[in-house]
Each structure stands twice: as C-alpha cells, then as structure tokens.
Amino acid sequence: MKELNTRETQQVSGGIFGLITTPIGAVMGLAIGSIVDAGCKAGNLETSFKWSGLQLGAGIGAAVGIAPITAALGIGYGVVSIVNNKNSILAQIAARMS
C-alpha cells in the first residue's frame, strides 16, 4: 500500500476546497495584520502582525476548505507569530522605560 504525501492526504480528506479558501484567508489575514502594524507603528512599535495575520488567515481558510494539515500548520504558526509579536512589544516598551 502506498503512503500518501501531504497533498494527497488533503485531497482524500476533502482538502481540494482549501486550494480556493486558503489564499482568500491569507489575503484577508495579511490585510488585517497590516492594519494592526499601522496602529503599532503610530505608537512607535515595530511589529510584523501582517505575517501573523497571513499565516493565521491561511490556516483558517484551509480549515474552511477542509484541509486539516494546512489548517493546523497555518493556525499554529500564526499563533506562535502573534505571541512573538507580543513579546517584542513588551521588550520594546521595557527598553523605553529603562
């Protein structure tokens, strides 16, 4: 029996719709993240929420498209990126206060 690769696994599990919904989610996430970055920049904070939004949005789009592997990866990377941004913001604020 052949072992399926990631793409084949997603196709079998219905992930073909993920080919449509994942990019839509990624674009929406990028747009939202860019707005958050602009707000942070107004407060003199350097962030990269646009990439967090892109990853999270792609993951959510993949979940809507029933692509479980891509969904788990995208959502996971997006959440890790958001936490990294939060840590960066706290470090930037702490540096200003010292």
Query: DSSP secondary structure string, 70-94?
Result: HHHHHHHHHHHHHHHHHHHHHHHHH
Is it the case that residue 42 has pLDDT exceeding 90?
yes
Confidence of residue 73 (pLDDT cuts 50, 70, 90): very high
Task: Say if CB 58 and CB 27 are below 8 A apart.
Answer: no
Could you tell me the pLDDT band of residue 49, with boundaries at 50, 70 and 90? Answer: very high
pLDDT at 8 over 90: no
Q: What is the pTM of this model?
A: 0.82
Percent of the chain surpassing pLDDT 70: 92
